[in-house]
Copies of this chain bind each other. A is one copy, B any other.
Amino acid sequence: MIPVEELQRSAGAVSTGSDTSALPSKAMNGKTSNGHPPKATNGATNTNWRRRSKYRHVEAYHSRVRHSSLSREPNVTASFLGFRNLMVIVLVAMNLRLIIENFMKYGVLICIRCHDYRKQDVVLGSALFALVPFHLYVSYLIELAAAKQAKRIVGQKKKDISTEVNEREQRIFKNTWWISAFFHCLNTLLSLGITSFVVYFYVHHPGIGTLCELQALIVSFKICSYAFTNRDLREAMLNPSVESALPEIYASCPYPNNITLGNLIYFWLAPTLVYQPVYPRSSHIRWSFVAKRLFEFFCLAVFIWLLSAQYAAPVLRNSIDKIAVMDIASILERVMKLSTISLIIWLAGFFALFQALLNALAEVMRFGDREFYTDWWNSSSLGMYWRSWNRPVYLFMKRHVYSPLVGRGWSPLAASTVVFTLSAVLHEVLVGIPTHNLIGVAFAGMMFQLPLIILTAPLDKIQDPSGKVIGNSVFWISFCLVGQPLGALLYFFAWQAKYGTVSRM
């Protein structure tokens, strides 16, 4: 290991094939010595000198005080992007391993041909799905009648101006409202009630039942919103005052010009639960966008079906034995195994419904406001979550339940309690009726959200980033890793207790 200087100075120059292009790449950045460039001696050029100096064994690699990246010294900040990539890779690897393990244990459990749909289920389900929207038509008829009466009153008002007549008209108006409100209530209860009755007693398959129940709930929401909004529009028309100035966007379709079948059908199909005579519209339909969203929806639906059949079903089946034994460690292990699967299914379901399907629907309807959710995954409290993840339902509750109550003087807490009670009842209906087990777990789960929201609200206020991380973690753990899997397990066991089988595979 004789340095170049030595070779050149003594015993003549041995040809070393010195290659100035063989300087090390920038990647191996050596530290230059602190010598100054010399005058050329011995025929050596400045380049040669620098090259030789750089490669001597005396290079001072330790020349200043430095700290390790992971030391918690001031001014030492390290980037951990690499570890984020590693986390993703490890998650994927761990789940791949579980997939292989599952395959080794159970083989392929997915069976495309075998299905659990009885003919009765399909017939009844289709009938319900097709007929329930007629309740919307009934509410349209009710509103049409009310609008006609309102127009008549307005016409009269233009002729009469006495206060007596005005008061009489107010009374008529009030009665009209009570009558139409009565019919609207009846309509809503019938739409929900008929479907629930048929699903509970006659539709066996929970999937079909859930679809019908969901459709009925959505129609009921829309009926309510249609009724309330038109009621206020009617009042604004009858008693125009600066106090009841309407939003600008409604100006292009003043009441009662909005009571048309076309307007109703648009509302029925639009991805929203709050009725407006006019919605912001997008300019044109991008069919490629629609195709992509539908494709996403389809892929995710298949994915969810695969996961349920291949991974969730065995875990649920195995857990029955453990529950019988009441072995705490085993139960905990089962819940944790189920929690990952249910988390993935739920995330996929969220994306499939709120991102893919609703966006496709909105694009086809040229519906402009696509904010079906905000960034609920960043929620640092449960309250923020409930305001962000399902905007259609949240907006309905706020516009037609919460805000009117608060406007009447109720406290926010009391109004929120009403909202969550209503929500709890509807969740129980949505989950318990298709599974034919109104065990009240969904109801309790929703009611329990209020105390949890109050508990976690302080976390929202913390400005410190680590405080937000804590709040976000509390949200994920309580909601997705503990709450949902437990709920799913309980409804599954209730089904088991009633029917004795899980799947026919």
Contact = CB atoms under 8 A, between A and B. Distances in A.
A404 B87 contact: no
A33 B329 CA distance: 56
Given A5-B244, A81-B472, A91-B94, 9 more contacts: A1-B405, A3-B404, A55-B406, A61-B398, A65-B368, A67-B370, A70-B351, A80-B377, A96-B336
Copies of chain A in the complex: 2
Interface in A467-489: 469, 472-473, 476-477, 480-481
11 contacts: A7-B408, A19-B411, A33-B245, A35-B247, A36-B242, A54-B403, A62-B276, A62-B279, A64-B280, A87-B88, A91-B91
A463 interface: no
Contact of A91 (B90, B228, B243): B90
Contacts of A58: 229, 232-233, 236, 246-247, 250, 276
| Interface of chain A, main secondary structure | helix
A60 interface: yes
Interface range for A? 35 or more
A91 B87 contact: yes
Contacts of A330: 104
Nearest to A37: B242
Interface in A243-280: 243-250, 272, 274, 276, 279-280
Interface string A181-205: 0000000000000000000000000
Given A89-B473, A280-B62, A378-B79, A407 B55 contact: yes
Contacts of A103: 329
Contacts of A1: 228, 400, 404-405
Interface stretch (A21-29, A209-217, A430-438): A21-29
A78 interface: yes
B78 A412 contact: no
Contacts of A61: 274, 276, 369, 395, 398-399
Given A58-B250, A64-B280, A68-B373, A170 B10 contact: yes
Given A96-B336, A337-B97, A89 B476 contact: yes
A9 interface: yes
Interface stretch (A45-53, A142-150, A490-498): A45-53
A59 interface: yes
A71 interface: yes
Given A232-B57, A368-B65, A90 B340 contact: yes
Contact of A247 (B4, B33, B89, B469): B33
Contacts of A451: none
A359 B402 contact: no
A51 B407 contact: yes
A164 interface: no
Contact of A59 (B78, B91, B235, B247): B247
A74 interface: no
A241 B7 CA distance: 16
Nearest to A351: B70
Contacts of A343: 90
Contacts of A10: 170-171, 174
A75 interface: no
Given A57-B400, A85-B476, A336-B97, A71 B387 contact: no
A52 B18 contact: no
A155 interface: no
B63 A280 contact: yes
A100 B232 contact: no
A333 interface: yes
B406 A24 contact: yes
A12 interface: no
A83 interface: yes
A464 interface: no
A4 to B, nearest CB: 5
A231 interface: yes
Given A88-B87, A403-B55, A276 B22 contact: no
A298 interface: no
A116 interface: no
A249 B407 contact: no
Contacts of A374: 69
A407 B3 contact: yes
Given A97-B336, A404-B1, A411-B19, A371 B68 contact: yes
Nearest to A335: B97
A5 B173 CA distance: 14
A38 interface: yes
Contacts of A118: none
A321 B4 CA distance: 58
A200 to B, nearest CB: 28
